Chain A
Amino acid sequence: MKSNIKSLAAKLALGVAMVVTPAAIAQAEEVQLYHSWSNESELAALNVFVSALEAKGHTVVEMSVPHEAAGSSPLAALVAAGTPPNIFLTGQAGFYRDLRDQGIGQEVGSHFKATGAWENFPPKVQEAIQVDGEIVKIPSGIHIDGMLYYNMKVAEAAGVDPTAWTSTADMFADMAKVKDAGYNFLGLGGNSFQAGYLFHALLAAVAGEDIYTRFYSGTPDVTVLDEQGFKDAVALFREIADQNDKGWVNRAWNETTNDVIAGKTLMQIHGDWMKGQWRANDKVLGTDYNCINIPGTKALAVTVDAMGILGGAGVSEGMLKAEFEMASIVVDPVLNSEFAAHKGSTPVRMDAPKDKLDACNALVLDSLAIPGFSVLNPSYIGDQDWINSVWNAIFTLQGDNDITTGDFIATLKSEHGAIFD
């Protein structure tokens, strides 16, 4: 009798297993993830999301093509081949339009509204994740494109206090002190990405929202090139380039940050993802380094790191569920804060746990709360050919001391004619 019960129990267990297992297997998907991140801080941050998705039983197959290596052409090739990844890290509006036009885009707004995430996104995030009015991007982090991070020990040794600067003129007034103390003043690396980002951050900071928007948005207003605010931004860029140390050629942004971390250079103005580099080197905010907005800034240029998911008839129900699980993970207040801590970003949700926010996050969120004080990164609002032209022109100016503000403006007018006329 006892053996019969055992046998019956075994058969029941086998039956249950046969019913349950296929369902369980069906829910476990192999999700393809394409990304272009390469630094330790970026990868540690991404791993927060990947681990959370894997904890739900899915496997993640990664394709990593650092943006320094090939831009987004491999992603374009994957789409052209009809084998786009399920999850892709890109903020480029054009890419989302291409997917939509091919019928493989995926709207995520209704999911965010149903889960209560939407109303907790700051307005700039809500704006940044839309393409042509449709919510298609999953926001992962907020970055300010041009924040000033400085080495507190170098500042102390040189006898300067960056928090006291109220303008860039104040900042440069302290340059001699820093250089006399044996340090580089302001580090800038050597590629068009760094030059381009610094320039648009300076344009927002010096010229303000109106000139910035007219310069980058849609078809740029060419008359803006003759405005004094624009010329002041170019002149400030020239001033920064001229004081740069000799090691700038071909220097990556994180190597520039490393010079500041190592105490060779006082400070760097760059995207605040450089905070991830400080953290990866076990440096402590408030003890080793500090962050401020560009002195006297009129507006902050904001990047919202984002990813997208694949839709359309080719995506199975199980895979779509897995993709939406990733969307929920990315905007989960706790996981997003954990991601932000690694990446150096600010969480995308206003209800992020306060204990997860540092002083730089607080500064960013306070700044974003000021009406008209923030503008979106040019890639969200501008023409990509125009942005590339600006990057090339400003990087050329950085490397050639003989190029004047007038030459730069003439180059841009010529480029404007070539692109838009």
Chain B
Amino acid sequence: MANIDISEREFKHYPPKKKKIKGSSIITFIFLAMIALAVLVPLYVIIVTSFKTLDQITLGRIFDLPTTWTFEGWNKAWSEVCSGMTCNGVKAGFFTSIKILIPSIAISVGLASITGYALALWKIKWAGSFLFVLFICAFVPFQVIMIPLVLITAKLGIYGTFWAVAIVHGVLSMPFLTLIFRNFYKDIPPELINAALMDSGSFWRIFGEIVLPMSGNIIIVVLILVITGVWNDFLIGLTFGGFGAQPMTVILANTVITGTGAVRYNVDMAAALLTALPPLIVYFALGKFFVQGISAGAIKG
């Protein structure tokens, strides 16, 4: 009898019932599809244009696939296009952006994680007020503090170097990233920290041996945010890079604007894609962890 019951139960659910698509689901699907198309259609045009010859581009049929696939635009964008009178392509900016990115990550993640940890797990006098000030700082427009920051970096003797760009990125990202770390760490049970304290754990030892190993997901989230923000930045690089440290986005803007008689759309599109690629690669490589990090409480109130 028992076997018969099991079989009945199995047959009861096989084949599985087809889910009915509700009206609200269709609306959601259409909405999401429209959002996706708004991004994907221009991206498609950019990609196919970068592989076309100028002759085909002048025909104006922007959605057509290339009749002759060519890397000419990509080669020129990487090593030949001019930024002002200098014609070395966007590659010079690529290496400068790498130099800016690495210290930016170290400064942003290092400072924000420690500050977030202190605010969330240690009883610090005025912590609430400090958090409020940080929250306000997150909404101060960059343009308001641009010239004071220029003066500070000049006083430090780093204006016009990649250090200036990296430190300014680190400083400006501090409020938002600290809030993210603080929100993540405040869900760590206080008993854990109390136990660690009883075991003679110091501020730094608890952070290094207990908190940091638990921070994998949140660090991935912050890494993606920092890499995307720093790599795509234009204004900070332009303002603080001076003569010596113009990042890839600035070189891209110059190359697109620096024009000959005819606009070379294939080269411009390839240059734009080359500039956009690094954060995209990082996102695709770490995207799974990004979602996990958000679901684990990285970005929530």
Interface residues of chain A, those whose CB is within 8 Å of chain B, are 32, 35, 37-40, 43, 46-47, 50, 61-66, 68-70, 73-74, 76-78, 80-83, 85, 252, 254-255, 258, 261, 277, 280-281
Contacts and interface: CB of A to CB of B under 8 A. Distances in A.
A397 B71 CA distance: 43
B239 A74 contact: yes
Given A77-B146, A85-B243, A64 B259 contact: no
A64 B88 CA distance: 14
B104 interface: no
A68 to B, nearest CB: 5
Contacts of B246: 63
> Of A65, A255, A258, which is in contact with the most chain B CB atoms at under 10 Å from its CB?
A65
6 contacts: A35-B84, A61-B243, A64-B254, A65-B250, A77-B240, A82-B159
Contact of B85 (A64, A70, A258, A280): A64
A38 B261 contact: no
Contacts of B198: none
A80 B254 contact: no
B253 A69 contact: yes
A281 B259 CA distance: 12
Contacts of A40: 259-261
A50 B242 contact: no
B129 interface: no
Contacts of A258: 261-262
Contacts of A66: 84, 253-254, 257-258
A83 B154 CA distance: 8
Nearest to B154: A81
Contact of A254 (B82, B147, B250, B259): B259
B263 A255 contact: yes
Contacts of B147: 76-77, 80
Contacts of B170: none
B240 A281 contact: no
B160 interface: yes
Interface in B27-46: none
A81 B254 contact: no
Contacts of A64: 83-86, 254, 258
A43 B154 contact: no
Interface in B60-83: 82-83
Interface of B: 82-86, 146-147, 150-151, 153-154, 159-160, 235, 238-240, 242-243, 246, 250, 253-254, 257-263
A49 to B, nearest CB: 11
A46 B84 CA distance: 10
Nearest to B251: A64
Nearest to A35: B84
Contacts of A280: 260-261
Contacts of A261: 261
Given A70-B238, A82-B154, A39 B259 contact: yes
Nearest to B259: A39
A289 B257 CA distance: 25
Contacts of A61: 243
A257 to B, nearest CB: 9
A334 B275 CA distance: 42
> Of B85, B150, B160, B238, which is in contact with the most chain A CB atoms at under 10 Å from its CB?
B85
Contact of B254 (A47, A69, A83, A252): A69
A55 to B, nearest CB: 15
Given A46-B85, A47-B85, A83 B258 contact: no
A82 B253 CA distance: 25
B85 A43 contact: yes
Query: Which 3 A-B pairs have CB atoms at the shortest separation, nearest pair first?
Result: A64-B84, A81-B154, A81-B159
Nearest to B87: A43
Contact of A83 (B84, B146, B159, B235): B159
Contacts of B242: 63, 77-78, 81, 83
A80 B151 contact: yes
Contacts of B250: 65, 69
A39 B82 CA distance: 10
A70 B154 CA distance: 21
B149 to A, nearest CB: 9
A43 B243 contact: no
Contact of A50 (B85, B160, B238, B257): B85
